[in-house]
Homo-oligomer: A and B are copies of this chain.
Amino acid sequence: MSDLFLALIHHPVVDRNGRIVTSAITSLDIHDIARSAHTYGVKRAYIVHPIAEQREFAATVIDHWRFDFGRAFDGRRREALETLKVVETLDDAIADASAIDGKRPLIVHTSARTSGGMMTAELRQKMEAPDTPPIMILFGTGFGLAPSVIERADIILNAIRGPGDYNHLSVRAAVSIILDRLRGR
């Protein structure tokens, strides 16, 4: 089975008007995504942010639970947070994952607006086949990944859909649903 990585991208993402912005890291994204990633056996989940102060904030949230109060208070939360790594750019995340696995991961683009791309079931099959390289799934905060990010992708994943047309999920929900589709029992 392919090793699985994910990257939560804060720049470049779009706002509600489609403008390119840099979103803020939230402590809730950190916790929820760490817990979902660890539940589904993600090898490393990257929090990607170009601004040093934001990366320091994320590191503070994580270290609080790793070393201080949190370690004694809730060991399961600490364990999940050890799945995370805070980096400056997507290239840093790719380099780190490549060093772990000895090969470069295939980059998977996600969006709430894609159709005509790969289905999650197909990606799961691919990941379970022998010799598939590791996979890194990109998730955009704000209103989603900027269009330019698609150029970095080897695989474009179709949007998650329910029975109707509305699919305005939080990034935390999207991460957990895609991980369950790829790795759930």
User: Residues of A with Cβ closer than 8 Å to B?
Assistant: 16, 28, 31-32, 35-36, 38-41, 73-74, 76-77, 79-80, 160-164, 166-170, 172-173, 175-177, 179-181, 183-185
Tell me which residues across on chain B come within 8 A of A40, comparing CB atoms. Answer: 162-163
Q: Give the contacting residue for A180; candidates B32, B164, B166, B180; CB below 8 A.
A: B180
Are B77's CB and A162's CB within 8 A?
A: no
| Chain A interface main SS type | helix
User: What 4 pairs between A and B have smallest CB-CB spacing?
Assistant: A173-B176, A40-B162, A161-B185, A39-B162
Are B170's CB and A32's CB within 8 A?
A: yes
Copies in the complex: 2
Closest-CB distance, A156 to chain B (whole angstroms): 17
The docked-state distance in angstroms from the alpha carbon of A162 to that of B32 is 15
Are A170's CB and B41's CB within 8 A?
A: no
Q: Give the contacting residue for A172; candidates B79, B166, B172, B185; CB below 8 A.
A: B172
Are A35's CB and B180's CB within 8 A?
A: no
Closest-CB distance, A137 to chain B (whole angstroms): 15
Tell me which residues across on chain B come within 8 A of A74, comparing CB atoms. Answer: 16
**A164's closest neighbor in chain B, by CB?**
B41
Closest-CB distance, A174 to chain B (whole angstroms): 8
